[in-house]
Amino acid sequence: MSTKPIGIFDSGAGGLSVWKEIKAQLPEESTIYISDSKYAPYGTKGKDAILKRSIINTETLLNKGAKIVVVACNTATTNAISILRENYDVPFIGIEPAIKPAALNTKTNCIGILATRGTLSSALFHETSQRYTKNLNVIEQEGNGIVELIEDGALFSTEMEKLLENYLSPMLDANMDCLVLGCTHYHFLTPILKKILPKNVTIIESGPAVARQTKAVLHEQNLLNKSGFRSQHSFYTNGSKEIISSLINCDKSAINKLK
């Protein structure tokens, strides 16, 4: 058993959607979250730049004592997780667009995938997509600009609504009934998406499955915290503390500057 924290990182505040699931499913566990906002978005950067940031974030988490690293970013997972796994001696949990559940659930045989360019262009995404969507109409859309608006505090803005309407309209014209949110930031769009999407469209995301997988791996490796001590949550950001506290309503004293 281990009282050490679960380390979690993302290019910004999006991974907090995964953090929320981990906290709900693993209430005894402490966490350390890194929001690498100064370098967001990752989605428009090349593979090498994404890998470099992923290594820096991993090393920061390991220096702070993380027993496991959750890559709470689809872009970093699809571009860097295999190299992280080869180079560090802790378990890594990644997140990828939930294509399989969408493919199994669609009745119209049309699914939409909203993700970053970095994710949609990755080999790992292509492999998964080809495996599960052979006879389906799959409409992929880069969510350009969404992460920037969220990081700038403009989540609930007219600009965001317009952007989403544009991105979703070809999917709706094609009669999509499952929308895959392939970026952890997009979870926070759910209230806006529910206004835009017809009732028959199911929004599918991977956060709950990532938390289940984190729990399973900690259990398998005998790393769960069974000490009975109260869990602690700390956040590190090289961007705005306000975004973090506004998205998860946490105590500002728990948010630290990331050097």
Catalytic machinery residues: 73, 183
Return the range that interacts with ligand DGL (CB under 6 A); candidates 54-62, 68-76, 122-130, 195-203. Answer: 68-76
The site for ligand DGL, by CB under 6 A, has a size of: 17
Helix axes 16-25 and 241-248, enclosed angle (nearest 10):
40
Helix axes 207-220 and 16-25, enclosed angle (nearest 10):
50
DSSP code per residue over 33-80: EEE-GGG---TTS-HHHHHHHHHHHHHHHHHTT-SEEEE--HHHHHHH
Site residues for ligand DGL, window 106-165 (CB under 6 A)?
116, 119, 147
CB 149 to ligand DGL: min, Å: 12
Instruction: Decide: residue 76, CB within 10 A, 0-12 exposed, 13-18 middle, 19+ buried.
Output: buried
- 128 closest CA partner among 188, 206, 232: 206
Please pick, from the candidates 7, 14, 94, 112, the single residue that binds ligand DGL as defined by CB under 6 A: 14
Other C-beta atoms lying within 10 Å of the C-beta of residue 255: 20
Site residues for ligand DGL, window 30-59 (CB under 6 A)?
40-43
Site residues for ligand DGL, window 187-226 (CB under 6 A)?
none
**Residue whose CB is less far from ligand DGL, 57 or 75:** 75
**Residue whose CB is less far from ligand DGL, 70 or 110:** 70
Euclidean distance between CA atoms 72 and 200, whole angstroms: 28
Return the range that interacts with ligand DGL (CB under 6 A); candidates 73-81, 163-171, 216-224, 239-247. Answer: 73-81
73 scored as a contact of ligand DGL (CB under 6 A)? yes
Return the range that interacts with ligand DGL (CB under 6 A); candidates 69-77, 133-141, 164-172, 246-254. Answer: 69-77
